[in-house]
Structure 1
Amino acid sequence: MSARQEFTRVGPGLPPLCGDRAGALILGSFPSPKSRAQGFYYGHPRNRFWPLMASLTGEPAPAREDLDAKREIILRHDLAVWDVIRACTIRGASDASIRDVEPNDLAALVRRLGVTAVFCNGTTSGRLYEKYALPRTGLPAVVLPSTSPANAAWTMDRLRQAWGAALGPFVNNP
């Protein structure tokens, strides 16, 4: 990130990725510029979210551009994906720079889908969820290690172990 990169007001983010019901909701903070450009979650080619979800659900790993396959992983396994933030001021893709937060209405989504567990993809989404959504949902979140390429200390095997232990009981295997 360039020190000269400007703060930009961005939003709204992406709509929730979900079916009519979901036992578990997986939350990011706010879509990255690559995700916003693609119009879909976890669009950075090095983000490990989609290969991880495929591994945990027993699905084939989708190609980066295969949005239908990614969508099916979530829908087939009664999961939901969204972000804590609807709009914010941010510098590039830096979660650390987020300010002027306008949160999504997570409580309404949780009620509509019947969500019983919330999982946050990284500490920023966990912190934001606790501040903006927990008082309205009443569901504490499990904060999982980020799948971002910036979290290189976590190998795919370590991510699979941590995410699998937490999310495994909520993955519907048809």
Structure 2
Amino acid sequence: MLARSFPPIADARARVLVLGSMPGAASLAAGEYYAHPRNAFWPIMGELFGAGPELPYEERRERLMAAGVAVWDVLKSCRRVGSLDTAIERDSEEANDFAQFFQDNSAVRLVAFNGQKAETAFKRHALRTLDDATRERLTFVRLPSTSPAHAGRSLAAKLEAWRAGLGSGERAT
């Protein structure tokens, strides 16, 4: 099935961009980022920015933007059966327009990947589309996936990694 991502959650206050790979089936059905009830994204955002899952989706979006956090996905579209990143057909991957995003959101300094697939897809498709000045101003960090498919870490461990990573000034290689 062809999956298409959503527009970014972002405004002029964005200083951090959190990137997933592609919304899962529950998110696509709901029309909301990280809609699967066992995904740790919104509980983590609740702890860090007061944008927890108990709030209506629009309020969560507003709180993230007020905190300078943007959310998007690396892929604009892809073919995938189910929700797993491993099911994405690599030859079908089409990236979002990051050159335009970073031009429009020039205050972004930190790009945080929600898991390995997001980082890999960004490096494969998007990094080369950025000019030198944009690449130089950005710091990249890979964080543990919030997906329920990645149950090897507890919510507490994921939260601490996200807290450290979003405060990180280290460049990922």
Partners in 2 of 1:128 and 1:140 — Cα distance?
Answer: 17
Q: Paired residue for 2:48, among 48, 53, 56?
A: 56
Per the TM alignment, residue 127 of structure 1 is displaced from its structure 2 partner at its CA by 0.4
Normalised to the residue count of structure 1, the TM-score between the two structures is 0.86
Q: Is the 8 A contact 1:122 1:146 kept in 2?
A: yes
- Matched residue, 2:123: 130
* CA shift digits 1:137-172 (9 cap, x unpaired): 3245211100011111111111111110111369xx
Inter-CA distance 111–119: structure 2 relative to 1 (3 Å threshold): same
Unaligned runs of 5+ in 2: none
- Matched residue, 1:84: 74
Q: Is the 8 A contact 1:121 1:145 kept in 2?
A: yes
Aligned residues: 160
What secondary structure is seen at the aligned counterpart in 2 of 1:16?
Answer: coil
What secondary structure is seen at the aligned counterpart in 1 of 2:93?
Answer: strand
Is residue 145 of structure 1 aligned with residue 138 of structure 2? no
- Matched residue, 1:35: 27
Q: Is the 8 A contact 1:53 1:73 kept in 2?
A: no
Q: Is the 8 A contact 1:134 1:140 kept in 2?
A: no
- Matched residue, 2:97: 105
Unaligned runs of 5+ in 1: 1-7
Identity of matched residues, %: 38
- Superposed CA RMSD: 1.7
Partners in 2 of 1:149 and 1:112 — Cα distance?
Answer: 32
